[in-house]
């Protein structure tokens, strides 16, 4: 059986009547794999996320989640997706638990199903003890953890994270990076993580480098460094995105 959780194949995209912004993208993320999407501003990372979440529809190419084509079987496909957007979308005046219950209700999850799912995810992220606190009282790192727990309540196969550590202090950032890698490994979860921070990458991660809508390199860190004929990943990123 295929282990591919996210498949992007031959993906092209243009915003209405504008020039093409994604050019023939091909890459895959396996179950249990963390894939770091690197690219400077304007590379097309947000556009790619908008297509995977179906905010926009693509006309050429294929996106599959857990084997389901997002155009042919959108409900099944999107049922396998969890997303953490760059801007926080929690209600600051509700408690951690109320935020998650509210989200579960919006997704049509019964209380009976939601309560253990909420407990499990908050425990995984070390936030269960803080479930009755109002989100406004939490620091940025803890709010992020709540958002990740919320994205995982329905047990998706693929988790998209759009620069989730922006604005966090170093210890909070490190904690999120560690948690997500752990979740990916333990939960057999495929993660697609957009960032521009090289220190968030683990040697075991897959890296996809995008520039001007084109995929410039992909593979483990060592492969990408080799492909770019560079000394290290910072140097490789510079070379791949300044041509
Ligand atoms: P990134 O997230 O990597 O910074 P984006 O996906 O935001 O890149 O942008 C890729 C390209 O698409 C850029 O040239 C940007 O100007 C263009 N673009 C992004 N959003 C829109 C939009 N809503 N309408 C038209 N062009 C857009």
Name the residue of 12, 13, 14, 15 to mutate for ligand 1: max ligand atoms within 8 A of Cβ: 15
Confidence of residue 196 (pLDDT cuts 50, 70, 90): confident
* 95 secondary structure, DSSP code: B
Question: Which pair of tokens denotes residue 55?
Answer: 């905010």
Rounded mean pLDDT of 219-240?
A: 95
Element (H, E) at 239: helix 233-240
* Residue for token pair 């919320």: 150
In angstroms, the CA 199 to CA 197 distance is 6
SS3 category, 158: strand
| 43 touches ligand 1 (CB under 6 Å) | yes
Ligand 1, atom 20: closest residue by C-alpha: 47
Rounded mean pLDDT of 48-74?
A: 96
3-state secondary structure 9-37: EEEEEECCCCCEEEEEEEEEEECCCEEEE
Stronger pLDDT, 154 or 1, i.e. the higher one: 154
- Domain ranges in the chain are 4-80+156-241
66 C-beta neighbours (distance < 10 Å), count? 19
Q: What pTM value is reported for the model?
A: 0.94
Position 104 scores a pLDDT of 94
Overall fold of domain 4-80+156-241: Rossmann fold (3.40.50)
Q: Is the pLDDT of residue 88 over 90?
A: no
Q: Would you say 22 and 208 are in contact if contact means Cβ atoms under 8 Å apart?
A: no
Position 134 scores a pLDDT of 98
Rounded mean pLDDT of 110-135?
A: 94
| 21 touches ligand 1 (CB under 6 Å) | yes
pLDDT in tens, 156-173: 999 999 998 888 889 889
């Amino acid at each position: 059986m295929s282990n591919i959780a996210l498949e992007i194949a031959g993906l092209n995209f243009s915003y209405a009547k504008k020039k093409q912004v994604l050019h023939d993208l091909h890459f895959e993320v396996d179950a249990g794999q963390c894939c770091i999407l690197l690219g400077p501003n304007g590379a097309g990372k947000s556009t790619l996320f908008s297509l995977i979440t179906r905010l926009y529809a693509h006309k050429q190419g294929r996106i599959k989640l857990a084997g389901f084509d997002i155009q042919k079987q959108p409900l099944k496909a999107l049922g396998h997706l969890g997303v953490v957007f760059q801007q926080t979308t929690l209600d600051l005046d509700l408690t951690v638990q109320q935020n998650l219950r509210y989200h579960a209700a919006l997704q049509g999850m019964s209380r009976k199903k939601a309560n253990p799912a909420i407990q499990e995810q908050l425990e995984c992220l070390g936030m269960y003890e803080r479930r009755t606190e109002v989100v406004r009282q939490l620091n940025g790192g803890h709010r992020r953890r709540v958002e990740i727990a919320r994205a995982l309540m329905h047990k998706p196969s693929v988790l998209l994270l759009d620069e989730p550590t922006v604005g966090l202090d170093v210890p909070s950032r490190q904690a999120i990076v560690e948690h997500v890698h752990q979740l990916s490994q333990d939960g057999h979860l495929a993660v697609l993580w957009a960032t521009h921070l090289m220190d968030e990458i683990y040697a075991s991660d897959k890296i996809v480098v995008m520039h001007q809508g084109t995929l410039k390199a992909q593979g483990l860190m060592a492969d990408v460094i080799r492909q770019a004929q560079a000394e290290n990943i910072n140097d490789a990123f510079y070379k791949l995105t300044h041509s």
